[in-house]
């Protein structure tokens, strides 16, 4: 089974766990809600159809389950469904199309209208489609939506740009929301357990791949490392026209995190319940270090960089 097919198994297992949170995803039709959810929760890049009604997705985070309500944004649905789901949601995500200039005003109106139905739930605002040339500058969006005013209110808010296409900023902001919905007790260790890693050039040439642990553990994870190579090659092709991109692929019990930053592609294999956002931050930091060494024509040992900079994130034994 590939990384992609195995995720469905993960999605729908353990449905009856007790701790549940609900997240309502709203935004005008065509803003990218379903595409974002598919990217985040199913690692799918497929084209989606407009949503008539609601898509319900379940995703697991440690021992918790999140029920994600992706609600179609066409007018009748906005009028009849949004308010109900927003009112009972533990978290709200508003997706905004940064390139749909003709409907900016309508989006602002709908945004503020919906927030009146739930004054407490943490809010994640995603200015989507920043990969498009027509996407408007984030500062303009900030003032259009008057974010400064919102920040002064009680509610916890996060405003960020993203692209469902490249995955940029998506996983980190989703992680922010997830954390807002957890109690202190539920936020377990924020470290990841790195099982292996990859360093590629965006041309597709591999610079390094490695597995952590004893020779026995390494041979156990070897098939996974090979499978990851295949996924990275696919990612490189898919994202060849973009400077930055991020993705997260899941197997039954492992995750593959891939980050593209300019000329470099960096990847990590981590455990399935590990916080992907930390892995992305680690890769972005390592990118800076590796890029500097490359520019200075110095020796690069990716595994050694990880071991010296992130010793507590290294996987030892199961
Ligand atoms: N270029 C680009 N296109 C995107 C992005 N996100 C979504 N799209 C495209 O925008 C269109 C609408 O996306 P959907 O995910 O169906 O939008 P939605 O918000 O679910 O729309 P409704 O279900 O009608 O409410 C699709 O053609 C997507 O492929 C993005 O980040 N960049
Ligand atoms: Mg949709």
Ligand 1 atom with the smallest distance to the CA of 95 is: 19
Flag whether pLDDT at 162 surpasses 90: yes
Beta-bridge partners for 261: 244, 264
Q: Say if ligand 1 is within 6 A of residue 129 CB.
A: yes
CB-based burial label for 50 (10 Å; 0-12, 13-18, 19+): exposed
* Phi/psi at 289 (5° precision): -65, -45
User: Residue 102 CB: number of other CB atoms within 10 A?
Assistant: 6
Q: Say if ligand 1 is within 6 A of residue 115 CB.
A: no
Q: Ligand 1 centre and the CA of 30: distance in Å?
A: 5
Interval 182-205: pLDDT, tens: 877 776 557 889 999 999 999 999
The ligand whose atoms approach the alpha carbon of 30 most closely is 1
Largest CA distance in the chain: 61
Report which secondary-structure segment, H or E, holds 138. Answer: helix 138-144
Q: With the CA atoms of 103, 26, 51 and 1 taken in that order, what torsion angle do they form, in degrees rounded to the nearest 10? A: 130
The mean predicted confidence, pLDDT, of the chain is: 88
Interval 50-103: pLDDT, tens: 988 899 988 877 667 889 999 999 999 898 889 999 999 999 999 999 999 999
Q: Say if ligand 1 is within 6 A of residue 33 CB.
A: yes
Which protein residue has the closest C-alpha to ligand 1 atom 8? Answer: 32
Six token digits for residue 306: 């990880």
- How many Cα atoms within 13 Å fall on the side-chain side of residue 86? 27
Which protein residue has the closest C-alpha to ligand 1 atom 29? Answer: 47
Q: Say if ligand 1 is within 6 A of residue 38 CB.
A: no
In the chain the domains, ranked by start, together with CATH numbers, are 3-186 (3.40.50.300), 194-313 (3.30.450.50)
pLDDT of residue 2: 47
Rounded-to-integer distance, Cα 31 and Cα 98, Å: 8
Q: Say if ligand 1 is within 6 A of residue 209 CB.
A: no
Strands of the chain, DSSP E: 20-26, 54-61, 64-71, 91-97, 123-128, 157-161, 194-201, 206-211, 244-250, 254-261, 264-271
- How many Cα atoms within 13 Å fall on the side-chain side of residue 202? 16
Which protein residue has the closest C-alpha to ligand 1 atom 13? Answer: 32
* Phi/psi at 93 (5° precision): -120, 125
Flag whether pLDDT at 22 surpasses 80: yes
Give the mean pLDDT of 35-52: 82
Q: Say if ligand 1 is within 6 A of residue 165 CB.
A: yes
- Percent of the chain topping pLDDT 70: 89
Ligand 1 atom with the smallest distance to the CA of 128 is: 31
Q: Are strands 20-26 and 64-71 parallel, antiparallel or unpaired?
A: parallel
């Amino acid at each position: 089974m590939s990384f992609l097919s195995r995720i469905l198994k993960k999605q729908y297992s353990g449905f009856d766990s007790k701790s549940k949170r609900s997240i309502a995803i709203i935004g005008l039709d065509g803003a990218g809600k379903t595409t974002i959810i598919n990217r985040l929760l199913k690692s799918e890049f497929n084209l989606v159809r407009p949503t008539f009604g609601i898509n319900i997705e379940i995703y697991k985070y440690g021992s918790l389950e999140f029920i994600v309500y992706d609600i179609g944004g066409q007018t009748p649905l906005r009028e009849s469904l949004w308010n109900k789901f927003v009112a009972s949601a533990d978290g709200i995500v508003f997706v905004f199309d940064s390139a749909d200039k003709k409907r900016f005003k309508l989006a602002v109106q709908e945004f503020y209208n919906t927030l009146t139905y739930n004054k407490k739930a943490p809010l994640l605002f995603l200015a989507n489609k920043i990969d498009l040339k027509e996407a408007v500058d984030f500062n303009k969006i900030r003032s259009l939506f008057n974010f400064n005013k919102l920040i002064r209110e009680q509610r916890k808010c996060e405003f960020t740009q993203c692209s469902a296409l490249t995955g940029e900023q998506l996983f980190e902001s989703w992680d922010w929301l997830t954390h807002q919905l957890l109690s202190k007790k539920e936020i377990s260790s924020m470290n990841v357990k790195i099982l292996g890693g990859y360093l590629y050039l965006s041309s597709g040439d591999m610079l390094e791949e490695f597995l952590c642990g004893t020779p026995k553990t390494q041979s156990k994870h070897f098939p996974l490392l090979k499978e990851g190579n295949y996924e990275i090659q696919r990612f490189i092709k898919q994202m060849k026209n973009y400077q930055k991109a991020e993705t997260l692929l899941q197997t039954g019990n492992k995750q593959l995190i891939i980050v593209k930053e300019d000329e470099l592609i960096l990847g990590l294999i981590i455990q399935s319940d590990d916080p992907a956002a930390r892995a992305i931050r680690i890769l972005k930091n390592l990118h800076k270090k590796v890029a500097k060494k490359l520019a200075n024509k110095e020796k690069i040992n990716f595994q050694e960089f990880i071991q010296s900079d992130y010793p507590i994130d290294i996987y030892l034994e199961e």
